[in-house]
């Protein structure tokens, strides 16, 4: 890529997308694609993956096909691209026969630069015929983790992408992108997409603008209601595990007067579409949803994501939580964890209703075992007393300091608690159970230590152990906390899909050498610590006026407000206060077309505000 080509890429970035420079690994990925090299980009949500294939799409000689898993993502992306002056289209089941015909006509006539399509479309007769006659310069695979059985959203249809590429007259450059991929998933992506000596960029997974918080409340709904009362001005997503829970939570919130709607796969297409649009167009500020409200929700002004239930893996959690603060604004991600969530997830994994005919029995069993392993890991996340950010980043193979200063564990006060005696009791109990030729999980061990008279304990004969009831005065949650600590410190192990506890080579240090142990025990967060910092060097009165103007323009054009401008762009207007179109072009997120469309209105609003203040 020559210096002039780099300058051209910068020009395209500014003219169409309103950014003066590339961020992070964007420029290297764009450069690789433009020189004809396959790429794999792993970048956190909000880091600007789309720029990495959209800028080359406007510079390459031919069509870019973007393979995307969700219709909602395609519609959002196509709308945003047209707003920026890019000729984009989509082919999916949402189109009428006439709309699909018009799209194919535009493709044959060379009127589109970017086409979005679902993987299921690729090998259909009409699509394949088009692809073999139209010059294709780039095939982009979005949400590329879907191709791997180790990815949290494995889709067999993604395995057909390589076959589709093989059927093309000339092989285009292949670019693959995802936000969440472990090393194993990355290897699968490269192998299964047949990437040719790809340039690989794995950006840091850290989203520094997000604060991570985990609560284990006794009354979960009351906790949710309290959080929402304190965040009435925010756009919020509340994720629930099941349709039933989604309905229940949404009904309670509406009864309390919250402006909430719902989304799950059990609703009719028309209602799902209406509810999603109510949220996207800011008619409702709270969306209660299952993970059916999933990948591709491109709403940039979500300030809070709450998981009412723990999801089944860290990949899903980080992807869903990452829908907060997409425009770079500070935002919060809260998990309301309970032991019941683990049981529910386990039930859902064991009783999956996936009837995909492309999955063999062996594939289903392999996926189930991997799902259990991932469930165990996110359970550990909810129980850790270490930095939550560090835990997530370490999971994805990234590095992080022990203290991030922006998660509830780092911001909590901890007491240093001597647990020497408690540790001896717990490890001794595991020894005694092992001597009986048994292994149990945390719940059973806690029941034995507490002297529970439940049926399982009594029938197993564990009430005869010398350790039965020796921690009868300790709360179960506290016993769980110590067990988690002992596992983290390698004094106990937790193995297999059933999370059975066993002794390790270090266990004798506890029971024989009577090693002294101190554990961090979390104090309750103060109200001040619970508040997320929202300090921006801007004039909030002007910001409110710009938001009102944006809403009016969005209503006239029948598009979501964030399609006109993101909150981050409005904040930059507040800082720079442009009063003419030349100055307006210097605002981050303002490209040539948007400056032409909106510059006069926003500059007039700013000029009036300056005059009056």
Q: Residue 447's closest CA among 460, 436, 431, 434? A: 460
Instruction: Kindly tell me the burial class for residue 114, based on how many C-beta atoms sit within 10 Å of its own C-beta (0-12, 13-18, 19 or more).
Output: buried
User: In sequence order, what are the residues at sequence separation of 6 or more whose Cβ sits closer than 8 angstroms to the Cβ of residue 479?
Assistant: 422, 426, 445, 446, 449, 450, 471
Angstrom distance (rounded) from CA 501 to CA 506:
14
Q: What is the mean pLDDT of residues 295-322?
A: 86
What strands lie across the sheet with 331-336, from one edge to the other? Answer: 210-215, 331-336, 302-307, 235-239, 286-289, 260-263
User: Of 563, 71, 88, 43, whose CA–CA distance to 294 is shortest?
Assistant: 71
Q: Are residues 317 and 285 in the same domain?
A: yes
Helix (H, G, I), strand (E, B) or coil at 76: helix
Q: Are residues 597 and 471 in the same domain?
A: no
Q: Indicate the number of domains in the chain.
A: 4
399: buried, middle or exposed (CB in 10 Å: 19+, 13-18, 0-12)? exposed
CATH number for the domain that contains residue 267: 3.40.50.300
Per this entry, what is the length of the chain?
A: 613
CATH of the domain at 497: 1.10.10.10
* 408 falls within a domain: no
Residue 347 and residue 283 share a domain: yes
Residue 429 confidence (pLDDT) above 60: yes
Q: Cα 537–542–545 angle (5° rounding)?
A: 140
Q: Mean pLDDT over residues 186-209, rounded?
A: 90
Question: Is residue 400 in some structural domain?
Answer: no
Is 146 a domain residue?
yes
Please, what is the average pLDDT of the chain?
87
Of the listed ranges 69-83, 447-461, 588-602, the one predicted with least confidence: 69-83
Instruction: Flag whether pLDDT at 538 surpasses 70.
Output: no
Question: Has residue 504 been placed in a domain?
Answer: yes
Residue 530 lies in a domain: no
Residue 5 pLDDT exceeds 70: no
d(CA 209, CA 97): 44
Say whether both 363 and 223 belong to one domain.
Answer: yes
Q: Are residues 420 and 384 in the same domain?
A: no
Helix axes 388-395, 361-383, angle to 10 degrees: 150
What is the average pLDDT across 347-375? Answer: 78
Question: In Å, how far from its chain's centre is CA 448?
Answer: 38
Tokens found for residue 169:
């007259």
Candidates 321, 322, 368, 377; CA nearest to 349 is: 368
For 391-400, write each residue's pLDDT tens digit.
Answer: 999 888 888 8
Specify whether 65 is located in the same domain as 141. yes
The one-character DSSP state at 175 is E
Residue 535 has pLDDT above 60, yes or no: no
User: In this predicted structure, what is the pLDDT of residue 295?
Assistant: 54
Q: Is residue 573 a contact partner of residue 603, using CB atoms and an 8 Å limit?
A: no
State the residue range of the domain holding 517.
414-522
Domain boundary at 163, 185, 202, which?
202
The CATH number linked to 553 is: 1.10.150.80
**pTM greater than 0.75 (yes/no):** no
Give the tens place of pLDDT for each residue, 467-500. Answer: 999 999 988 888 988 998 898 888 998 877 677 8
Residues 219 and 191 grouped into a single domain: no
Is 348 within a domain? yes
Tell me how crowded residue 492 is: count the other CB atoms within 10 A of its CB.
25
Residue 533 within a domain: no
Which of 495, 522, 549 terminates a domain? The answer is 522
Please indicate, yes or no, if residue 246 is contained in any of the structural domains: yes
Q: Kindly tell me the sign of the dihedral angle through the C-alpha atoms of 197, 201, 202, 205.
A: negative
Q: Which domain-ending residue is among 178, 202, 226?
A: 202
Judgement on whether residues 310 and 443 belong to the same structural domain of the protein: no
pLDDT of residue 533: 35
> What's the pLDDT band for 179 if we cut at 50, 70, 90?
confident
Task: Specify whether 355 is located in the same domain as 231.
Answer: yes
In a shared domain, residues 338 and 418: no
The yes-or-no verdict on residue 421 having pLDDT over 50 is: yes
Q: pLDDT by residue (tens digit) across 66-123?
A: 998 877 678 778 888 888 889 999 988 878 888 888 989 999 988 999 999 989 889 9
Compute the CA torsion angle 55, 585, 80, 593 (nearest 10 deg): -90
pLDDT tens digits along 9-60? 888 888 888 888 888 889 999 999 999 999 999 987 777 888 999 999 999 9
42 and 106 in one domain?
yes
Whether pLDDT at 227 is above 60: yes
Same domain? 428 vs 478: yes
Per-residue pLDDT at 359 exceeds 90: no
Query: Which two structure tokens, joined as six digits, stand for 151?
Result: 């990815």
Pairing of strands 199-202, 302-307: unpaired
Per-residue pLDDT band for 7 (boundaries 50, 70, 90) equals low
**Edge-to-edge order in the sheet of strand 136-141:** 88-91, 114-117, 63-67, 136-141, 173-178, 39-42, 199-202
Q: Say how far apart CA 323 and CA 319 lie, in whole Å.
A: 7
Query: Are 550 and 584 contacting, i.e. CB atoms less than 8 angstroms apart?
Result: no
């Amino acid at each position: 890529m020559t210096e002039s080509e780099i300058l051209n890429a910068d020009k395209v970035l500014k003219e169409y997308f309103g950014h003066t420079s590339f961020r992070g690994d964007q420029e290297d990925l764009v450069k690789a694609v433009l020189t004809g090299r396959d790429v794999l980009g792993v970048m956190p949500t909000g880091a600007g993956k789309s720029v990495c294939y959209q800028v080359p799409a406007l510079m390459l000689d031919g069509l870019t096909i973007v393979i995307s898993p969700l219709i909602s993502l395609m519609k959002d992306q196509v709308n945003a691209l047209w707003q920026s002056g890019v000729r984009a289209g989509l082919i999916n089941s949402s189109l009428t026969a006439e709309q699909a015909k018009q799209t194919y006509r535009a493709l044959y006539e060379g009127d589109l630069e970017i086409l979005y399509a679902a993987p299921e479309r690729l090998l259909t007769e009409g699509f394949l015929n088009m692809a073999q006659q139209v010059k294709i310069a780039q095939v982009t695979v979005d949400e590329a983790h879907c191709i791997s059985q180790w990815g949290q959203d494995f889709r067999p249809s993604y395995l057909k992408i390589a076959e589709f590429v093989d059927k093309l007259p000339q092989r285009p450059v292949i670019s693959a992108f995802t936000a969440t991929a472990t090393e194993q998933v990355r290897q699968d992506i490269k192998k299964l997409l047949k990437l040719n000596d790809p340039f690989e960029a794995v950006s840091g997974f850290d989203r520094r603008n997000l604060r991570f918080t985990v609560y284990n409340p006794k009354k979960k709904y009351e906790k949710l209601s309290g959080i929402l009362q304190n965040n009435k001005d925010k756009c919020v997503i509340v994720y629930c595990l099941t349709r039933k829970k989604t309905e229940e939570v949404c009904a309670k919130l509406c009864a309390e007067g919250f402006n909430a709607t719902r989304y799950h796969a059990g609703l009719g297409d028309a209602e799902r579409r209406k509810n999603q649009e109510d949220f996207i167009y800011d008619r409702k500020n709270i969306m209660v949803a299952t993970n059916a409200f999933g990948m591709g929700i491109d709403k940039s002004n979500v300030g809070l994501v709450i998981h009412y239930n723990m999801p089944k893996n860290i990949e899903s959690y980080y992807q869903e939580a990452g829908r907060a603060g997409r425009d770079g604004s500070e935002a919060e991600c809260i998990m309301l964890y309970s032991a019941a969530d683990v049981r529910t997830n386990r039930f859902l994994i064991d009783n999956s209703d996936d009837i995909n005919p492309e999955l063999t029995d062996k594939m289903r069993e392999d996926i189930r075992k991997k799902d259990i392993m991932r469930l165990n890991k996110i359970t550990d996340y909810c129980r850790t007393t270490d930095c939550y950010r560090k835990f997530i980043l370490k999971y994805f193979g990234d590095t992080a300091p022990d203290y991030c200063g922006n998660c509830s564990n780092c911001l909590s006060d901890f007491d240093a608690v001597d647990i020497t005696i408690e540790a001896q009791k717990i490890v001794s109990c595991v020894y005694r159970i092992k001597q009986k030729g048994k292994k149990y999980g945390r719940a059973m061990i806690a029941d034995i230590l507490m002297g529970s008279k439940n049926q399982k304990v009594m029938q197993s004969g564990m009430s005869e152990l010398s350790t039965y009831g020796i921690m009868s005065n300790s709360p179960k949650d506290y016993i769980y906390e110590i067990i988690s600590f002992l596992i983290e410190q390698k004094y106990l192990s937790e193995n297999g899909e059933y999370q059975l506890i066993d002794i390790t080579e270090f266990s004798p240090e506890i029971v024989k050498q009577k090693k002294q142990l101190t554990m961090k025990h979390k104090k309750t967060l103060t109200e001040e610590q619970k508040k997320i910092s929202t300090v921006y060097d801007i004039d909030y009165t002007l910001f409110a006026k710009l938001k009102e103007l944006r809403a009016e323009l969005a209503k006239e054009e029948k598009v979501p407000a964030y399609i006109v401008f993101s909150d981050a762009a409005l904040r930059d207007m507040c800082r720079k206060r442009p009063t003419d179109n030349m100055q307006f072009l210097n605002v981050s997120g303002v490209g040539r077309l948007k400056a032409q469309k909106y510059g006069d209105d926003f500059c007039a609003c700013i000029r009036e505000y300056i005059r009056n203040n």
